[in-house]
Structures are given as C-alpha cells and as structure tokens.
C-alpha cells in the first residue's frame, strides 16, 4: 500500500449505547489524518478513511477507548485486532 | 507531592451505560501503576489510586476513551480537565 492512497479501515466495535458510539466518534474526530469516518451503533461498526494513517495507528486509537474491537479490515482485507 | 506517596485521583466522567463504564474500567485495569480503581456509573465517577502516576497521565488515559471528563481532583484538590 502506498501511503498517499486513500485507505478504508473498518472495525467491528462492541458499543451498547449512544454514549459508547459517541466516545468512538470523538476519538476519531480528534485524530489527525482522518479524512472521514462513520460510526454506527446499529451496525456495531467504525469506518475510517485516511491517506496518511496506517491500520495499526487507527486500531490502537479505537482500542484506547476501552471498547472491545472484535474484528478489523484494511481495504477489504481482514486484519488482526 | 512526593511520587512515593499514594495519591487519590477522582474524576467526574459522563457515562450513560454499562458499556461506557466498562470501557473506562478496562482502560484503568490496563494502566500500569494503578494500585486500585473504582468506576461508578451511578455516581458518574472514576476514582484511581496510584503512588507512581501523576494526575495528568491518568486524566489523559481517561480522556482517550472519548468520554467527557467534567471535573477532576487530586488528593482532594480540584484540578483542570
């Protein structure tokens, strides 16, 4: 992967209320290098677009929320969590 | 404050469900240097005991959860958040 391409990272995150998903949103909003993101409580998902951040960096930030990350993928490829 | 004394840090954290408080608990559980902690959804509080960590370090870890920290104190003295 080139670091200048836009990457899509998807995570399955265990969230049980709007406070949970709001917390993940706040973290992604503050994360420099994120071009866009979408957090869905209904889908239990966080999707992040970035051309500068690697998968591990985004994964770690989401893990820092204390939420359980059940699975992840980068540009459609399953990754470790 | 000597760094060898046991300090008590208290935070008022906005949490709306057990998933929220569980996330804060997981972060404190993983934080090296915490001797004990208590997170209460009912009281909207997180109390942390440590003899090695300073207030700012614990505050930052809790902020990394994406939860709003409304106030904080160290050994009974109000601190910035």
> Using one digit for the tens of pLDDT, what is the confidence trace for B21-80?
999 999 999 999 999 999 999 999 999 999 999 999 999 999 999 999 999 999 999 999
The CA distance from B80 to B67, in Å, is 16
Three-point CA angle A79, A72, A27, nearest 5°: 130
Give which of B59, B18, B72, B57 is closest to B40, Cα–Cα. B18
Decide if pLDDT at B2 tops 60: no
- What's the pLDDT score for residue A5? 85
- What's the pLDDT score for residue B19? 96
Decide if pLDDT at A1 tops 80: no
The CA distance from A13 to A70, in Å, is 6
* Nearest chain B CA: its distance from A19 CA (Å): 6
The verdict on a CB contact (< 8 Å) between B67 and A19 is yes
- pLDDT grade, residue A73 (50/70/90)? very high
The domain spans of chain B are 7-76
The CA distance from B69 to B9, in Å, is 13
Q: How far apart are the first and last CA of chain A?
A: 19
Closest CB to B66 among A14, A17, A65? A65
- Give the mean model confidence (pLDDT) for residues A27-49: 98
The verdict on a CB contact (< 8 Å) between A19 and B22 is no
CATH architecture of residue range(s) B7-76: 2-Layer Sandwich (3.30)
pLDDT digits (tens, 9 = 90+) for A2-26: 557 899 999 999 999 999 999 999 9
Identify all chain B residues contacting A58, using CB atoms and an 8 Å cutoff: none
B47 interfacial to chain A (CB closer than 8 Å): no
Distances (CA, A) of A5 to A35, A52, A56, A63, B3: 12, 8, 16, 24, 47
- What's the pLDDT score for residue B5? 85
């Amino acid at each position: 992967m080139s670091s200048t391409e836009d990457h899509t990272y998807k995570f399955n995150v265990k969230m049980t209320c709007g406070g949970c998903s709001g917390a993940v949103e706040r973290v992604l909003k503050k994360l420099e290098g994120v071009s866009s993101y979408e957090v869905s409580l209904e889908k239990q998902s966080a999707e992040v677009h970035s051309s500068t951040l690697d998968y591990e960096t985004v994964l770690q930030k989401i893990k820092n929320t204390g939420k359980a990350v059940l699975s992840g993928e980068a540009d459609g490829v399953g990754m470790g969590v």
